[in-house]
Amino acid sequence: MSESTHAEDIQAHVKVYIKVFGALAILTVVTVGVGYLHLPIWPALIVALLIASVKGGLVGGFFMHLSSEKKVIFYVLLVTATFLLAMFVIFISALHDQVGGHLVP
């Protein structure tokens, strides 16, 4: 591999990292902005989880290099995401039970 090809590869990776950083910064600003909307608990929870999922996907995919891994990694991530979703359902149902069947704003 020539030295110029190696330098071009590094520059391409740096450009991707800068774009992902920019997306993460924008999503952080969106997260703070949504906090000022004073949404009810259900919409706030859904929006917060969606933003956090996108940010986590960006970090995992690009900074942890999971986007270039083999399919086995994706299957492990799918199982992990399934268990995470199950934990969210358990958490929300427990919260629902604590307040007597209705959520307090």
Indicate whether 25 belongs to any domain.
yes
Indicate whether 80 belongs to any domain.
yes
Indicate whether 13 belongs to any domain.
yes
Residue 15, burial from CB neighbour count under 10 angstroms (0-12, 13-18, 19+): exposed
Indicate whether 103 belongs to any domain.
no
Q: Tell me the per-residue pLDDT of 32-58, one tens digit each, with 9 for 90 and over.
A: 999 999 999 888 888 988 999 999 989
Indicate whether 66 belongs to any domain.
yes
Indicate whether 10 belongs to any domain.
yes
- Please count the structural domains in the chain: 1
- Provide the domain limits for residue 20: 3-98
CA distances from 5 to 12, 62, 68, 80, 102 (A): 11, 21, 20, 38, 61
Helix (H, G, I), strand (E, B) or coil at 11: helix
Indicate whether 104 belongs to any domain.
no
Indicate whether 92 belongs to any domain.
yes
DSSP letter, residue 36: T
Enter the pTM of the model.
Answer: 0.66
Q: Tell me the per-residue pLDDT of 52-101, one tens digit each, with 9 for 90 and over.
A: 999 998 998 888 877 777 778 778 888 998 998 999 888 888 877 776 65
